[in-house]
C-alpha cells in the first residue's frame, strides 16, 4: 500500500477509459469509457488527500466535483443520445459528425 | 492486511475495467463497469474516506442500472447473442492509451513521493468535508448546485418529445381520470 | 451505549434477520388464509409454509434459451446478500456488528444494490415478462429513492451524525417519529418499495405472470423470495433505531425493546400488504415525485430549524 500503487491504479483506469473513448463507436460504450476516466480522477484525488494533503479537505472537494461531473456527463450524454436518435436514428459517433470541418 | 486488500481491489478494478470493452454482452459490460466502480470505491474507503467511498457506491449502482436501461434501448445487440465489432481505429486507440499509461507510470515512479502518509486518516474527514463545502468551498458547492439544476432542465428539454399537455390535454385533467 | 458485538455476531445476524422474516411470512400467510377462508390455525399455516419451502427445495431449477446465467444468478443471490449486509449497521439493543461512522449511508448503499440485483435477475432468463419486471423495479426505485434519502437526511440532520448508535443516543428524550412523522412514513413506504412487497409488488406483479419471478424455479425462487422478506425485515429493523429510539425504553432490557419495536413495525408493514391493493407504477411515480418528495424536503427543513433553535 503505497502512493505509487494507488496512482498506478488510477493511471490504469484512466488509460483503459481513454482507450474506450477513442475506440468505441456506440455512444453508450463511449460514455462508459468517460466514466472510467472520471473514476481514475476520484481514486487519484483520494490518494492525494491521504498522502499529500496539507491538512485541508480540498482533495475531498475534488472528489465531490468529479462525482458530480460523472452524474452530469451521464445525464447530458443520454439526453443528447435520445435527442439525436429521435431526430435522425443515429446511435454511433461516426454518424454524428456535424461539427467536423468537412473539406 | 491493507496491502492485500489494496492489491485484490486494484486487480479487480483494472481487470473489470478491461472486461467492459471485451465482453460481447452489453448487460455484462455495464455490470463489469459497476464492479470496477465498486472496487475503486473500496480503494477510496481504504484510503480513509469512508463517506465519499460509500456515496460513490450509492451513485454508481444507480447510474449503472440507468445506463443498463439506455444500453438496452440504443444498442442493436444488447445481449451479445450475435457478436459484432463496434469499434473504430482500434490500433491507434490502443497505442494512444498505452502511451498515456506509460507516460503517467514513468511520472508516478520517477517522482520522489513522501514514503508514508503525511497524516493518519482523520475520523472527522466527513465533518471536515461538510465544513469545507459550507465554508471556504461554498462557491464550489453553489456552482455544483447550479450546474446540476441546469443539467436537469437541459436533459428534460432534450429528452422529452411531448410534455404533459400532450398526454393529459390542455386542462391537464387527462383522459383517464 | 451501542458497542460492536464479538465476531460471531456475523453468524447470528442472518439468523435473527431470518427469524424476523419467517415471522413476517407466517403472519402474512395467516392473514391471507383468514381472508380467503382457508384453514387459519397456526399449525396449518406453519405446515403450509414448510410444504412450500420443501417443494421449492426439491423442484428443479429452470433453464431458458440463451439466458445470461452469470447475471441471473448474481441478481438472485444479490437480493438476500444486500439485506444481510444492510443490517450490519442496525443495532439490536446494545449490540451491532459494526457501528460504522457512515452507517446511514451504508444502509442506503446496500438498499440500492437491490435495484441492480433485481434488474439483473429480470434480465438474466432472456424472458420478456421477466425483463419488464426488472424495468419496473428501476422505475419504482427512482420513485421511492429520493423520499427515502430525504427521510434519512432528516434523521442525520436531527442527530448531527451518520452513525446509527449516535442517532439512537439522540432520541433519549424524544423519539424522532414524534417530530418527523412524514420522514417515518416515507421511510416505511420505501421499505415496501425496495422489498417489492405489498402495494409495491409491481416488479413481481400478477399482471406479468410474476414479473422477475416468472422464470425462477426451485432453489433460485426460494432464494429470491427469502431475499424479499429479508429486505422487508431489514427495513423494519432499521426504522427502529432511526425513528423509534432503538433499544431505549423503560423496564425491559434494550434488546427486548429493539425486538418488540421491530415486530411492531414489521406487523404494520405486513398488515399494509393485506389492506392496500397494488399501486400501479404510473400512478405511484407522480405521487412520489410531486407529493412525497416535497413533503420530505419540508420535513428536513423542520428538522434543520429545530436543530438550529435547540
User: pLDDT per residue over C249-295, tens digit each?
Assistant: 888 888 888 999 999 999 999 999 989 988 888 889 989 999 999 99
Q: Which CATH number goes with the domain that contains A64?
A: 1.10.287.3510
pLDDT higher than threshold 80 for residue C3? no
Nearest chain A residue (CA) to B149: A72
Containing C227, the helix (H) or strand (E) segment is: helix C219-243
Is C123 in Cβ contact with B68 (below 8 Å)? yes
- Mean pLDDT taken over chain B: 86
Per-residue three-class SS string for A34-80: HHHHHHHHHHHHHHHHHHCCCCCCHHHHHHHHHHHHHHHHHHHHHHH
Question: CA-based Rg of chain B, rounded to a whole angstrom?
Answer: 22
The predicted pLDDT at position C290 comes to 93
Distance from CA of B167 to the nearest CA of A (A): 18
B100 lies in some domain: no
CB contact under 8 A, C109 and B68: no
pLDDT classification of C94: cutoffs 50, 70, 90: confident
Q: Mind listing the pLDDT tens digit for each residue in C33-87?
A: 888 887 778 888 888 888 888 988 888 888 888 888 888 999 999 999 999 999 9
Is there a contact between B31 and C120 if contact means CB atoms under 8 Å apart? yes
Task: Look at residue A50 in the predicted model and tell me its pLDDT.
Answer: 85
Phi, psi of C161 (to 5 degrees): -160, 150
Please tell me the distance in Å from C252's CA to the nearest CA on chain B. 34
ipTM for this prediction: 0.89
- The pLDDT, as a whole number, for residue B120 is 62
**Does residue C195 contact residue C20 with C-beta atoms inside 8 Å?**
no
Which residues have CB under 8 Å from A11's CB, separation 6+? Answer: A40, B100, B101, B104, B105, B108
Phi, psi angle pair for C210, to nearest 5°:
110, -5
Which three three-digit cell numbers place residue C257?
425493546
The C-alpha atoms of residue C110 and residue B57 are separated, in whole angstroms, by 9
Lowest mean pLDDT among A5-9, B130-134, C98-102: C98-102
User: Rounded mean pLDDT of B137-141?
Assistant: 93
How many domains is chain B partitioned into structurally? 2
Which residues of chain C does B19 touch, with a Cβ-Cβ cutoff of 8 Å? Answer: none
Measure the CA–CA gap between B9 and C147, rounded to whole angstroms.
Answer: 33
Asked if A55's CB is within 8 angstroms of B119's CB, the reply is: yes
Chain B residues within 8 Å of chain C (Cβ atoms): 25, 27-28, 31, 34, 50-51, 54-55, 57-58, 61-62, 64-66, 68-69, 79, 81, 123, 126
- Judge whether residue C110 has pLDDT over 70: yes
Instruction: Tell me, yes or no, whether A101 lies in a domain.
Output: no
Q: What is the distance in angstroms between the CA of the first residue and the CA of the last residue of chain A? A: 52
Are B62 and C148 a contacting pair, CB within 8 Å?
Answer: no
Please report which confidence band the pLDDT of residue B124 belongs to, taking 50, 70 and 90 as the band edges.
confident
The predicted-structure confidence for B71-117, as pLDDT tens digits, reads as follows: 888 776 777 676 667 778 888 899 999 999 999 999 999 988 876 66
pLDDT band at B122 (very low <50, low <70, confident <90, very high): low
Q: pLDDT at position C68, please?
A: 84
**β-strands C3-4, C95-96: how paired?**
parallel
Residue A79 pLDDT greater than 60, yes or no: yes
Q: Mark whether B70 and B126 lie in a shared domain.
A: no
Q: Does residue B71 sit in the same domain as residue B126?
A: no
Residue B49 is part of which domain span? 1-78
Give the A window 55-84 contacts with B, CB below 8 Å.
Answer: 55-58, 60-61, 63-65, 67-68, 70-72, 74-76, 78-83
Say which of C106, C116, C123 has its CB closest to residue B54.
C106
- Residue A68, domain member (yes or no): yes
Structural domain containing residue A80: 3-93
Is C112's Cβ below 8 Å from some Cβ in B?
yes
Is residue C99's pLDDT more than 60?
yes
According to DSSP, the residues that pair with C3 across neighbouring strands are C95
Say yes or no to pLDDT of A2 above 60: yes
Q: Is the pLDDT of residue B177 over 60?
A: no
CA distances from C236 to B73, C123, C241 (A): 36, 29, 10
Q: How many helices (H) and strands (E) does chain C have?
A: 12, 2
pLDDT(A6) > 80 = yes
User: Rounded mean pLDDT of C229-251?
Assistant: 90
Contacts of residue C55, defined as CB under 8 A and 6 or more positions apart, other chains included, come to none
**Residue A56's pLDDT is what?**
73
Cα C175 to Cα A43, B123, C59, C160, C166: the distances in Å are 39, 27, 47, 15, 13
Domain count, chain C: 1
Q: Is C264 helix (H, G, I), strand (E, B) or coil?
A: helix
Q: For residue C31, what are the domain limits?
A: 3-309
Residues of B in contact with C109 (CB under 8 A): 54, 57-58, 61
User: Could you tell me the pLDDT band of residue A72, with boundaries at 50, 70 and 90?
Assistant: very high
Backbone phi and psi for residue B26, each to the nearest 5 degrees, phi listed first: -70, -30
Provide the domain count of chain A: 1
Cβ of A61 within 8 Å of Cβ of B137? The answer is yes
* Pair (B69, B134) in one structural domain: no
| Over residues C220-228, mean pLDDT | 91
Do chain A and chain C touch with ≥3 beta carbon pairs under 8 Å? no
Q: Given this model, what pLDDT does residue A9 score? A: 94
Integer-rounded Cα Rg, in Å, for chain C is 19
**Quick one: pLDDT at residue C1?**
58
Q: Residue A40's closest CA among B59, B96, B104?
A: B104
Predicted pLDDT of residue A63? 92
Are B57 and C109 in contact (CB < 8 Å)? yes
Per the CB < 8 A criterion, the answer to whether A73 and A35 are in contact is yes
Q: Are B30 and B50 in contact (CB under 8 A)?
A: no
Chain C neighbours (≥3 Cβ pairs under 8 A) are B
Q: Indicate whether B67 and B3 sit together in one domain.
A: yes
The larger pLDDT score, comparing residue A17 to residue C218, is at A17
Looking at residue A26, its pLDDT comes to: 84
Q: In chain C, whose CA is at the least distance from the CA of B45? A: C102
| Alpha-carbon torsion angle B42, B47, B51, B56, nearest 10 | -40
Average pLDDT in chain C: 89
Among B65, B79, B155, B172, pick the best mutation site for testing chain C contact (most C Cβ within 10 A): B65
C141–B58 C-beta distance less than 8 A: no
How far lies B126's CA from each of B130, C75, C86, C172, C218, in Å?
Answer: 6, 32, 21, 25, 45
pLDDT in tens, C168-205: 988 888 888 888 999 999 999 999 999 998 889 888 88
3-state secondary structure of A24: strand
User: Assign residue A86 a region: left if phi > 0, alpha if psi is -120 to 50, beta otherwise?
Assistant: alpha
- CB distance C109 to C16 below 8 Å: no
C119-155 per-position pLDDT tens digit: 999 998 888 899 999 999 999 999 999 999 999 999 9
d(CA B76, CA B79): 9
User: What DSSP state is assigned to residue B87?
Assistant: B
Mean pLDDT for B21-47 is: 91
Amino acid at each position: 500500500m503505497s502512493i505509487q500503487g494507488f496512482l498506478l491504479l488510477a493511471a490504469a483506469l484512466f488509460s483503459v477509459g481513454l482507450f474506450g473513448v477513442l475506440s468505441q463507436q456506440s455512444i453508450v460504450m463511449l460514455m462508459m469509457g468517460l466514466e472510467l476516466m472520471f473514476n481514475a480522477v476520484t481514486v487519484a484525488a483520494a490518494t492525494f488527500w491521504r498522502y499529500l494533503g496539507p491538512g485541508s479537505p480540498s482533495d475531498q472537494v475534488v472528489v465531490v466535483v468529479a462525482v458530480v461531473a460523472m452524474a452530469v456527463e451521464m445525464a447530458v450524454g443520454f439526453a443528447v443520445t435520445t435527442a439525436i436518435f429521435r431526430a435522425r436514428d443515429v446511435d454511433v459517433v461516426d454518424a454524428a459528425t456535424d461539427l467536423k470541418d468537412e473539406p | 492486511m491493507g496491502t492485500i486488500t489494496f492489491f485484490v481491489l486494484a486487480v479487480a478494478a483494472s481487470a473489470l475495467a478491461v472486461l467492459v470493452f471485451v465482453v460481447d454482452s452489453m448487460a455484462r459490460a455495464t455490470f463489469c463497469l459497476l464492479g470496477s466502480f465498486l472496487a475503486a470505491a473500496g480503494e477510496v474507503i481504504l484510503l480513509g474516506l469512508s463517506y465519499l467511498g460509500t456515496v460513490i457506491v450509492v451513485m454508481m449502482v444507480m447510474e449503472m442500472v440507468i445506463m443498463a436501461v439506455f444500453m438496452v434501448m440504443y444498442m442493436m445487440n444488447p445481449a451479445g447473442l450475435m457478436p459484432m465489432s463496434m469499434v473504430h481505429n482500434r490500433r491507434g486507440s490502443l497505442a494512444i492509451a498505452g502511451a498515456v499509461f506509460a507516460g503517467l507510470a514513468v511520472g508516478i515512479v520517477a517522482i520522489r513521493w513522501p514514503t508514508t502518509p503525511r497524516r493518519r486518516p482523520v475520523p472527522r474527514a466527513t465533518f471536515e468535508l461538510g465544513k469545507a463545502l459550507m465554508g471556504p468551498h461554498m462557491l464550489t458547492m453553489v456552482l455544483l448546485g447550479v450546474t446540476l439544476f441546469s443539467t436537469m432542465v437541459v436533459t428534460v428539454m432534450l429528452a422529452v418529445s411531448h410534455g404533459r399537455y400532450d398526454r393529459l390535454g390542455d386542462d391537464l385533467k387527462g383522459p383517464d381520470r | 451505549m451501542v458497542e460492536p458485538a464479538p465476531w460471531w455476531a456475523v453468524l447470528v445476524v442472518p439468523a435473527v434477520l431470518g427469524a424476523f422474516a419467517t415471522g413476517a411470512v407466517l403472519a402474512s400467510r395467516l392473514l391471507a388464509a383468514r381472508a380467503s377462508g382457508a384453514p387459519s390455525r397456526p399449525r396449518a399455516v406453519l405446515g403450509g409454509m414448510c410444504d412450500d419451502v420443501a417443494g421449492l427445495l426439491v423442484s428443479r431449477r429452470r433453464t431458458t434459451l440463451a439466458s445470461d446465467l452469470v447475471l441471473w444468478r448474481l441478481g438472485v443471490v444479490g437480493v438476500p446478500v444486500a439485506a444481510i449486509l444492510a443490517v450490519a449497521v442496525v443495532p439490536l439493543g446494545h449490540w451491532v456488528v459494526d457501528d460504522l461512522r457512515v452507517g446511514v449511508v451504508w444502509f442506503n448503499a446496500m438498499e440500492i444494490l437491490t435495484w441492480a440485483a433485481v434488474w439483473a435477475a429480470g434480465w438474466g432468463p432472456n424472458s420478456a415478462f421477466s425483463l419488464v419486471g426488472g424495468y419496473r423495479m428501476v422505475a419504482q426505485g427512482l420513485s421511492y429513492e429520493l423520499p427515502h434519502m430525504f427521510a434519512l437526511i432528516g434523521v442525520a440532520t436531527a442527530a448531527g451524525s451518520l452513525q446509527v448508535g449516535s442517532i439512537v443516543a439522540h432520541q433519549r428524550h424524544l423519539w424522532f417519529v414524534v417530530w418527523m412523522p412524514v420522514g417515518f412514513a416515507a421511510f416505511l413506504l420505501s421499505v415496501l418499495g425496495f422489498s417489492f412487497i405489498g402495494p409495491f409488488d409491481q416488479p413481481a406483479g400478477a399482471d406479468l405472470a410474476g414479473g422477475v419471478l416468472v422464470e425462477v424455479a426451485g432453489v433460485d425462487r426460494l432464494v429470491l423470495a427469502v431475499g424479499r422478506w429479508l429486505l422487508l425485515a431489514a427495513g423494519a429493523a432499521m426504522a427502529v433505531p432511526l425513528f423509534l429510539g432503538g433499544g431505549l425504553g423503560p423496564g425491559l432490557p434494550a434488546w427486548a425493546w429493539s425486538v418488540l419495536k421491530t415486530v411492531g413495525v414489521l406487523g404494520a408493514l405486513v398488515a399494509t400488504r393485506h389492506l392496500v391493493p397494488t399501486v400501479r407504477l404510473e400512478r405511484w411515480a407522480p405521487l412520489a415525485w410531486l407529493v412525497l418528495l416535497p413533503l420530505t424536503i419540508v420535513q428536513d427543513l423542520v428538522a434543520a430549524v429545530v436543530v438550529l433553535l435547540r
